[in-house]
Amino acid sequence: MQAASTDSDRLTNFDFARHNAEVRELWTAFNAWRPARRIPIIFGANTRYYMFNRAANPDALDFRRYSENPDVMFDAQLQFQRWSRFNLLQDAELGLPDKWTLVPDFQNYFEAAWFGCRVHYFPDQVPDTMPDFADAPERVMEKGIPDPFGGLMARALAYWKHFQVRAQNETFLGRPIQAVFHPWGVCGTDGPMTVACNLFSAEFICETMADDPERLHRLLDFITEATIRRMTAWRKLAGIPVPQGGFGFADDSIALISTAMYREHVLPYHRRLCDAMGTPMPRNIHLCGDSTRHFRTLRDELNIRAFDTGFPVDFAAIRRELGPDVRIQGGPHVHFLVQSTPAEIREEVRRILQSGVMDGGFFVLREGNNLAPGTPLENTEALYHAGREFGRRL
């Protein structure tokens, strides 16, 4: 295992076998809804964190080259996985894997781009789209529901096929490579309201919700139906069951509205999405920002039993409201992790974990939410060690 590490890696002379055995035991218990001896600790780090880390990415690879060349994306994902496995201490398998897994990666812009928005490459940022249909929202419906494998998704399919060819003929650091799809990637969704905000602007969505709800419902109906058709087609290609047990989705933009407005204008589309894509089994949701006022509704109406939270979040209040049997993920604000000292991070982790959020044992400590580029590894390690210290169950 040590052959894959370099002198600049953080995890040199690290006992990967012992760590990985502990992690397997931890997650086996947690995923079986049996509280483990301590809480799991993870980080949401993707190619964004790696790409804007000059120590990890000395060639200054940018997102335009990464996104527009399948070979660059293929190689960069391997380098990112290698780097994270030898540098980012967390409760995940570390060291060399049995095999590397690669996915078509078009970040959070892929849905708006699939509907027809142009992709922009901003300096030192992830690619994104602008609300290109803001001037005339109904234009998005003129050509009907997009081909699930058309537009940007045609590129995703081509990249996946290209990855498969390379993976059959190559290894990386002596390990095989596999091209896969993941339910949270191009097979998933950021949610009907968030997609609508990306297509038409958040201002339009909120104003139309108040002034012309029928118009909004026509647009959300179109987006939801298109999303279900796209996800169904891609999941069948990927071999992901439809409907899927433990289905999960996101919709960060519901943080903009009241629970009454959520129930009237967005919940019907979330229910439609869950009924089409998920079994009645407990579901999960990712929500950046503060959408905690909606959590009880989401639990009771959609059987969501796992919440991946953003910031700001009152963890004690969430646990009191949702009870001990609901999974909650979250932790210190990402900006706090960038700027604070290890001692300050330890104290913040202690505060969160002693708030009552660990009642029942179903809490996962992580950054809130998605590790920011420039976060010192000293700080991620401070969070990890504090989580181990204060996250043990008596």
The pLDDT tens digits of the residues spanning 227-277 come to: 999 999 999 999 999 999 999 999 999 999 999 999 999 999 999 999 999
Q: What is the pLDDT of residue 394?
A: 66
In DSSP notation, 299-330 reads HHHH-EEEEE--SS--HHHHHHHH-TTSEEEE
The stretch 128-155 carries a mean pLDDT of 97
Q: Is the pLDDT of residue 137 over 50?
A: yes
The stretch 88-114 carries a mean pLDDT of 97
The confidence band for 1, taking pLDDT boundaries of 50, 70 and 90, is very low
Cα–Cα distance, 391 to 160 (Å, whole number): 39
Closest to 11 measured CA to CA, from 387, 389, 384: 384
State the alpha helices, DSSP H only, in 52-200: 63-68, 70-85, 110-115, 152-169, 192-200
The pTM of this model reads 0.95
Closest to 283 measured CA to CA, from 292, 291, 295: 295
Query: Does the N-terminal peptide bond of residue 376 adopt cis geometry, omega within 30 degrees of 0?
Result: no
State the alpha helices, DSSP H only, in 137-285: 152-169, 192-200, 202-211, 213-238, 259-261, 267-277
Query: Does the N-terminal peptide bond of residue 369 adopt cis geometry, omega within 30 degrees of 0?
Result: yes
Q: Is the pLDDT of residue 128 over 80?
A: yes
The stretch 145-166 carries a mean pLDDT of 97
Q: What is the pLDDT of residue 59?
A: 86
Q: Please answer whether residues 364 and 41 qualify as being in contact, where contact means their C-beta atoms are separated by less than 8 angstroms.
A: yes
- The sign of the CA dihedral 219, 221, 227, 233 is negative
Q: CB neighbours of 284 closer than 8 A, spacing ≥ 6?
A: 246, 247, 248, 304, 305, 306, 307, 308, 327
Mean pLDDT in the chain?
A: 95
Q: What is the pLDDT of residue 55?
A: 80
Q: Please answer whether residues 359 and 319 qualify as being in contact, where contact means their C-beta atoms are separated by less than 8 angstroms.
A: yes
Q: What is the pLDDT of residue 239?
A: 92
Buried b (16+ CB within 10 A) or exposed e, 269-296: bbebbbebbbbeebbbbbbbbebbebbe
Q: What is the pLDDT of residue 393?
A: 82
The stretch 302-314 carries a mean pLDDT of 96
Q: What is the pLDDT of residue 2?
A: 41
The pLDDT tens digits of the residues spanning 313-346 come to: 999 999 999 999 999 999 999 999 999 999 999 9
Closest to 219 measured CA to CA, from 138, 116, 135: 138
Q: Please answer whether residues 135 and 147 qualify as being in contact, where contact means their C-beta atoms are separated by less than 8 angstroms.
A: no
